[in-house]
């Protein structure tokens, strides 16, 4: 049918070009009858509406915020922590009539910068008013592109850059409280389960030389656990893949089947801890009596499992990150949210 324009629609509907524009952009300034006539004319001509990118350039507002995540897109709808955080962001986006664009990124490996170029290009092209960097390392090129475009950026991973905003918890302090809890129960042999950047992997021991490759929050929690447990506790650190139930189960099998089985297993997330609990149950081990287990986050399933964990305000973190980007009355640039040690039945005194 050729190139259909606002002028084409205006002629077909018998109105001015500005009336057609108002039908899409300012519907409150016209009668429902006239707007319906314009929209019917547009549909008959196959006109899809104003180009959103061009419209945002004129108005200087896209009407959407972008959320960067170095995860598979499906992960955002399956991981309970991510789901809770997204619910908080969405709540604020709805309140301010703002859309939410999920932008999955490849994890950044400085030795292979070409791997992230499609992710960087996606950030260059994204039509958004601001960006949430969700568990994205500070050196990821996509973050630098967002800042280079002058987009407001808020992160849930703490950092020193004053050009960005932060909504965080004190990861180290919270994990140290878990470590002290296990120490006070008399545990002197502890396995720690962390997550890896790879999705599927065989259980692998993590040495000091491997820690730099961990996610920023995972490393902070590992160090906090170690500090809380103290220097005289024997530690075995292991990962078996990305943050998932199956990775926790694989890591637990590795730890539980060792001759020197640890008296407690501390996990840097509840999802991993729930996998550990399943692996224990398959072996007929009593959680909290034969081996103590801890998690981190307090996702909804943690309470039903009796999991001792660190509670953090997941949805509130999402709400505040959203508000920083879309609420002109909210001016905080760095928010540190409180955490709480929640003791349940999954931890108990060390067996004599």
Per-residue model confidence as pLDDT tens digits over 93-114: 999 999 999 999 888 877 787 8
- Mean pLDDT rounded to a whole number for the chain: 89
Q: What percent of the chain has pLDDT over 90?
A: 57
Token pair, residue 1, equals 């049918």
What domains can you pick out in the chain, each with its CATH number? 6-50 (1.10.260.40), 64-169+315-337 (3.40.50.2300), 171-312 (3.40.50.2300)
The C-alpha torsion from 304 through 306 and 310 to 312, rounded to 10°, is 20
**Separation of alpha carbons 28 and 109, rounded Å:** 50
Cβ contacts of residue 58 below 8 Å, gap of 6+? none
* Whether residue 60 has pLDDT greater than 80: no
Token pair, residue 119, equals 């992710």
User: What's the angle, vertex CA 36, arms to CA 35 and CA 39, rounded to 5?
Assistant: 85
**Separation of alpha carbons 20 and 30, rounded Å:** 10
58 pLDDT tier (thresholds 50, 70, 90): very low
Q: For 129-181, what is each residue's pLDDT tens digit?
A: 999 999 888 888 888 888 888 899 999 988 888 889 999 999 999 999 999 99
Provide the whole-model pTM.
Answer: 0.81
Strand order in the sheet with 264-267: 200-205, 234-241, 189-194, 264-267, 292-294
Alpha helix segments (H runs only) across the chain: 6-13, 17-25, 32-45, 52-59, 80-95, 117-125, 141-148, 171-184, 216-229, 245-256, 270-282, 300-304, 314-326
Q: For 294-306, what is each residue's pLDDT tens digit?
A: 999 999 999 999 9
């Amino acid at each position: 049918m050729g190139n259909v324009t606002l002028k084409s629609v205006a002629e077909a509907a018998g109105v001015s070009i500005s009336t057609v524009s108002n039908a899409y952009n300012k519907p409150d300034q016209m009668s429902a009858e006239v707007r319906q006539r314009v929209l019917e004319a547009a549909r008959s001509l196959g006109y899809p509406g104003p180009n959103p990118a061009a419209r945002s350039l004129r108005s200087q507002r896209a009407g959407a915020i972008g959320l960067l995540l170095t995860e598979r897109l499906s992960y955002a709808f399956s991981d309970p922590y991510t789901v809770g955080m997204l619910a908080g962001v969405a709540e604020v986006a709805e309140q301010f009539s703002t859309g939410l664009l999920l932008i999955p990124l490849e994890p950044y490996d400085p030795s292979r910068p070409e791997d992230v170029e499609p992710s960087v290009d996606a950030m260059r092209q994204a039509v958004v008013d601001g960006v949430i960097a969700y568990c994205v390392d500070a050196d990821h090129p996509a973050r630098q592109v967002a800042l280079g475009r002058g987009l407001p950026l808020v992160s849930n991973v703490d950092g020193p850059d004053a050009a960005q905003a932060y909504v965080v918890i004190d990861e180290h302090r919270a994990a140290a409280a878990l470590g002290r809890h296990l120490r006070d129960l008399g545990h002197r042999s502890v396995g720690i389960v962390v997550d890896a950047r790879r999705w599927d992997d065989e259980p692998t021991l993590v040495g000091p030389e491997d820690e730099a490759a961990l996610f920023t929050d995972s490393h902070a929690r590992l160090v906090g656990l170690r500090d809380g447990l103290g220097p005289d506790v024997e530690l075995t650190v292991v990962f078996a893949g990305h943050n998932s139930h199956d990775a926790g189960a694989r890591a637990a099998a590795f730890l539980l089947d060792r001759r020197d089985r640890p008296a407690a297993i501390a996990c840097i997330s509840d999802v991993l801890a729930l996998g550990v609990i399943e692996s224990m149950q398959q072996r007929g081990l009593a959680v909290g009596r034969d081996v103590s287990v801890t998690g981190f986050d307090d996702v909804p399933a943690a309470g039903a499992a009796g999991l001792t964990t660190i509670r953090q305000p997941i949805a509130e973190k999402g709400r505040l990150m959203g508000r920083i980007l879309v609420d002109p009355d909210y001016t905080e640039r760095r928010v540190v949210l409180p955490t709480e040690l929640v003791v349940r039945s999954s931890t108990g005194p060390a067996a004599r």
